[in-house]
Chain A
């Protein structure tokens, strides 16, 4: 694998994760359990979509085929998206929203400091910028994991269930992809295995402190690129560009 396609794949995956998660969070607008939380989740959505915009713009430049961040967001189909299955999972209830977000926040708070040392100046610059946002996110969601885990029997049951059911999507986060390994050897991206280990330790540490059990690894792993949830999400997100191609306003 050449360096340029690997770098494109890498930025695309980081960008897609932020874009799809940002869209899921935007669906929570006016549906938060309380006003303050509604505002918090839409603030998160804005940060993730902002990060996606920067990453996909850069991905398009690396690819060199003239695709903008908007082209990459609105004009690709399910199979061309490289986001994790975790981030496309629906907002089943508030516990799912928090568990999913918390898993991503921990990942980004571990990834971005390492990316700040990337030999690629553009990636290092973006990571420094994004990290400040992710620290606020992680602080917020990790507080919620504690409150739900140590709250009422009902809140405990729901957050435990959310972690249990989302856990089957973690192998994808923990398995190094060829492009990650290649970029790691060049000092552009961090060592994916070390990152995976740090992530697991940190997740288990908070979950345990919140009185929750480590979810069982006894699940049937999904080997499809995406779950059935990404298609409907894209249908909603891309509706305007698909219906009125090249519409501008």
Chain B
């Protein structure tokens, strides 16, 4: 339609890639996959985002930070809309992003089937520090909605696991 706006949208994507996740600063909000689309029509910049978890308090912060970053880029009218489908999934995290998480000390999501069996064994999550598979689940629910708490029986360190979702 307006070919010159494509370049502007690309710049917006680039700038969004510089906004860190407020809880996990080593990854950006683009790495997380919450930004679904960027559209600029010459006056209004429309950004669609999808929540990780519906009650995640970081979402409000994402919105505020995106708005601030876009205002700095000279966009006066920025509309940020929430979409729910397709539902956010940790499958959107690339191998590179998972490695960033691991180096930061958070075990990245492992492939697991979420069954409704209450006594299904928790997934085997390798320790992000020593790579041992001799680890155990301490608490299914952790300090943020997206993480569980594990502990490594070899290096004796507790660690967080970014849940498969």
Contact = CB atoms under 8 A, between A and B. Distances in A.
Contacts of B43: none
Interface in B94-148: 114-120, 138-143, 145
A124 B116 CA distance: 21
Contact of A39 (B54, B84, B87, B141): B141
Interface residues of B, number: 30
Interface residues of A, number: 32
Interface in A37-53: 39-40, 43, 46-51, 53
Given A36-B139, A49-B55, A136-B140, A121 B116 contact: no
B165 interface: yes
User: Which of A51, A126, A132, A142 has the most B CB atoms < 10 Å from its CB?
Assistant: A132
Contacts, number: 85
Interface in A124-139: 124-126, 128-130, 132-133, 135-136, 138-139
Nearest to A55: B54
Nearest to A106: B116
A128 B139 contact: no
Given A40-B141, A50-B56, A138 B116 contact: yes
A122 B85 CA distance: 8
Contacts of B87: 125, 128-129, 132
A139 B139 contact: no
Interface of B: 50-51, 53-57, 82-88, 114-120, 138-143, 145, 149, 165
